[in-house]
Amino acid sequence: MSSSQGSSSSERLSSSGRRVEQHYYESWYVSEAGRGTADGHAWLLDELTQTIERIGFKSIFHAALFFAESSNPRAQRQLTDFAKDGASLASLLKVVSSLRSSVRSEDKEQYNAALCAAARPAYLREWRTFLHGPELRVPMGQFTAQHVESFSIEPLYARLRLHAPSLFALFEGMGHDSAMENPPERSSPTLNETKRRQIRHILMSLSIMGNLRSRQVNFIQGILTYYLYVGRVSKRVVTILNHWGLAVSYTGVHTAVSTMGMYQARNESDCVGAFLRRELQSVGRKGNAFLVVFDNCTASATVRDERLHNKSDFLKYTVGYVLEPSVCRPMFLRSDVNYGNVASLTIKDFIPPDSDTDVLRSVFGHFIANAVSKYCRQRNVGLEKLDFPLPAVDTIDPKLTPKIHVLPTYDLDESLIDDMIEILYRIAGDIGLSETQIKENIVLYAGDYFTTITERYILSAARC
Amino acid sequence: MPAITSPLLPRGIFSPQRDANDRRAKARQVECSTNKQLNYIESTSGLFHLEIAVLVMLFRSHAGSEKEHGGLYYWIKVLQRNRNTLWDGGRQLVKDFRACYELFGQILDGYIVGFIAERCGWTAGEINPVLDKATDVEAQIATLAAELADFNETSTRRQQTNAPSRDRLHENMFLFLQHGLILRNFHQAMRHGDIGRLLISFRHMTCWFQGSKQFNYAQETIHLTACLSKIWSSGLKRFMLNNCLVSISGKRDGFYALDELNEYVVREVKNMMVHNATPKTDEHLREVISLQIMFFMRLKIKMAEESDATFIFDYHHQDVDTSADVDLVAKNCLSRKVFTHTSGRDVVKKEVPDLLLNGITELSRTTRLMEYKGKVSAMGIRGVVELQNRADGETQIQNGEEETEEDPDEIQIETALLSGGREDPEESWLDE
């Protein structure tokens, strides 16, 4: 491009003094049609570079930076227009990022700081969205059993990731490099253990940071603290962990536990306490058959230094539960129990039938083979595999797990008749038995021998 | 003090507590309004406590003495167990159910291994090489199982053999095997939720109780059999059987009896008690925390699942290597030729009762059964209570008599437990 030296006009003088075109295509490049072509672009940029260098700038980029930083309204307008075109801005950032290796080592720190400062608002924006999401905000007073039962890290992570994809990608990258390229998919049903571990750690980290910003971001800490409470971790430990952001306060978890078991919660629809009480009350209301089991619970409340009003005592409580079978059937009627039928009881009803012997032969074979195999295994004896399967006669399906509703503990002694009557009244009240059910139905009660015979004292008196 | 008779307790067994309970129950229930009457309750006893009672019965039957081979006391000494932590000699009760059940199981396994080794040609020395070389172990197991399933074996032998040619040691061992296997079947059936196998063992146990001195459970098992066969409708019976065992984990071998599950709840409630309880914290425990016991359990499981740490629940499932104890029992028996009937062997004086035969004999007298039928068909639950009262009284008298008959020298006082395991050297000053 020797022709470009010293002149910007489209014409030059030849050696013979004749006026000739400096560039044969110049006039076409500057025309409207020529500007749109690649060659035209290149020629124009070349011209622009020459011009910029001529006016004293180091490069076109330095000139653009000077232009962008100036207070010239035209420059500001152009810059705003450029920024509005997000794709161009992203391309610019990409180009700038790709220059990292070319930056001089003494300038690298400045370069990194500038790059991170540019990214910070974007991350902070995502962070704010993340914090305002409802997933991690559960007031401890509204902590429900469903929160725990539906707690699953994978769906929770996927939902939270939608709020802050770049932030999560950053954390995933910090946890594992390859994860940046293949982040956990939302719909993936089987994440391997490493990814699940990564998810747990990221959730915990973000939750701790979220808790720093707002005390209301407490879901993960809440569940963890509840777990600590169940594991009987002391109040002091919980307080220390709370100060580290790993747990909610002891007051918080106490509120959650208390609301769970309260009769009347502040917000009945939300709290677990009301939920558990409602569940218990609904057992009777449903009108289905169920079983009640209870037993005594004795413990000594010792006092190291006894005083006038602080003595050791022996506690006698009653603890029980209600079993609601998974297969429902209506409550039994009084006619389902008929003591008059015992007249037809014969000794045959007690003698083991011959069919039992066949089953017992197989069962005994299984137990003998098991004992011999176990002994040989523990003594390293190379015994062949013994084939004595355990016969199944009438098995219950283990998948049909019943609902167990634990009753409140009653400060009553089942060995005293007055207390036993009170226990039975309270159970009836707690499980919501109606007057009609009390008059017409039968409820099965089970317990140890002593409980059973004490109950029968009362039944016999009631049926006199 | 002369025996006081009560119209409620016709045999002259009077208990002020029972009588007071009865009167108080009547006073509270007879005149109250119908919606406060508690006759909607149908009460039944749990299977876990029944199993404990059966173990007590077996301990009483097979106790023997420390000096005579084959009894439980003998094995407790040989296996170097602490009898006082296992068995209450005074009240004749099991102190630690699980420890007693395991001890019983280890002796049972020892007998089984010894029996099979003997059938496979053991003559002397170690058992391992015999089982290693044996080719017909399966056939021997099948034969032994068939022999043990014949419950007339011992009684027939006892009837046929005259006294001088009897071998009580062999008979006792055979009965131990039968009783132990029936109990194991009951236990395993409960774990696997197999009602059919459970009832098979239950029928045997009902008969065992009739010939035992546990009159309360003898009466209770009669009543439970009557409930299952006559008193309850087929729907109620099926409902009870389907729900008498519970699997809360959904595992095939994770079933518990209803009363056993309640023991878990009791344990968890006790665990949540605080040492510095006040009326307020006590109320919090009873009214708030108790309700959440099963929720706590679900939370623990959930957290373990979400942390991929479910293996933490398997820490207590590691099998203990019991082969040394089993080997000791088996070799001890083999060296004495216990597994072979030896006519005229007279090393054991006490005969273990054939519980099944004794029970069937007792039932065949029909006294208890007729009385039950008569009272219950006429009086309903009132009849059950009357019979139960009497059975309780008889059981208490029995226990009381045994307590007074107990030789105090037989009960070892475990001083190690009281003094913290070691004798205090400073105590010598007492002798000075």
What is residue A179's predicted lDDT score, i.e. its pLDDT? 47
- Cβ–Cβ below 8 Å for A349 and B254: no
What sign does the CA torsion over B370, B373, B374, B375 have?
A: positive
Distance from CA of B431 to the nearest CA of A (A): 32
Nearest to residue B108, comparing CAs of A368, A129, A88?
A368
The overall pTM is greater than 0.95: no
- Domain assignments of chain B as residue spans, ordered by start: 44-256+321-406
Chain A residues closer than 8 Å to B246 by CB: 323, 401-402, 404
pLDDT along chain B (432 residues), means of 10: 40 59 78 84 93 93 86 91 83 85 94 93 87 88 93 82 79 94 96 95 95 91 94 95 92 92 93 84 88 90 88 70 92 90 78 91 90 90 87 74 40 34 38 36
CA distance A156 to chain B (A): 12
* Mean per-residue pLDDT of chain A: 84
- The minimal CB distance from B364 to the residues A338, A347, A445 is found for A347
**Model pLDDT, residue A451:** 92
Instruction: Name the residue among A369, A442, A449 with its Cβ closest to that of B45.
Output: A449
ipTM, two decimals: 0.86
Average pLDDT of the segment spanning A295-303: 86
Q: How far apart are CA A204 and CA A193, in angstroms?
A: 16
A297 closest CB neighbour out of B254, B266, B289? B266
Residue from the list B41, B151, B360 with its beta carbon closest to the beta carbon of A424: B41
Domain boundaries along the sequence of chain A: 8-98, 130-275, 287-327+400-462, 339-395
Higher pLDDT, A37 or B109: B109
CB spacing of A442 vs B236 below 8 angstroms: yes
CB contact under 8 A, B295 and A226: no
Residues of B in contact with A417 (CB under 8 A): 20-21, 24-25, 28
B361: closest CA of chain A, how far (Å)? 11
Query: How is residue A344 annotated by DSSP?
Result: G
Structure confidence at residue B50 (pLDDT) = 95
Q: How far is B268 from chain A (nearest CA, A)?
A: 10
The residue of chain B nearest to residue A302, with distances taken between CA atoms, is: B275
With CA atoms as reference, the chain B residue closest to A456 would be B385
Distance between CA atoms of residues A375 and B321, nearest Å: 9
User: How many angstroms separate the CA atoms of B106 and B180, rounded?
Assistant: 10
Residue B351, pLDDT score: 85
Distance from CA of A255 to the nearest CA of B (A): 11
CA-based nearest residue in chain B for residue A318: B266
Q: What is the structure's pLDDT at B422?
A: 38
Res A6: pLDDT: 42
Residue-wise pLDDT tens digits, A208-247:
999 998 888 889 999 999 999 999 999 999 999 999 999 9
Judged by phi (left if over 0) then psi (alpha if -120 to 50, else beta), residue B233 lies in beta
Task: Considering only residues B350 and A152, tell me which one the structure prediction assigns the higher pLDDT.
Answer: A152
Q: Which residue from B180, B356, B369 is spatially nearest to A364, judged by alpha carbons?
A: B180
Q: Do B231 and A341 touch (CB under 8 A)?
A: yes
Region A36-49 average pLDDT: 81
Q: With contact defined as beta carbons under 8 Å apart, do B239 and A332 qualify?
A: yes
Tell me which of A152, A396, A440 to substitute to probe the interface with B (most B C-beta atoms closer than 10 Å).
A396
Would you say residue A101 has pLDDT above 50?
Answer: yes
Closest CA to A241 of A256, A260, A222: A222
B372 contacts A342? CB cut-off 8 A: yes
Determine contact: A126 vs chain B, CB below 8 A. no
Mean pLDDT of A101-107: 81
The predicted pLDDT at position B67 comes to 84
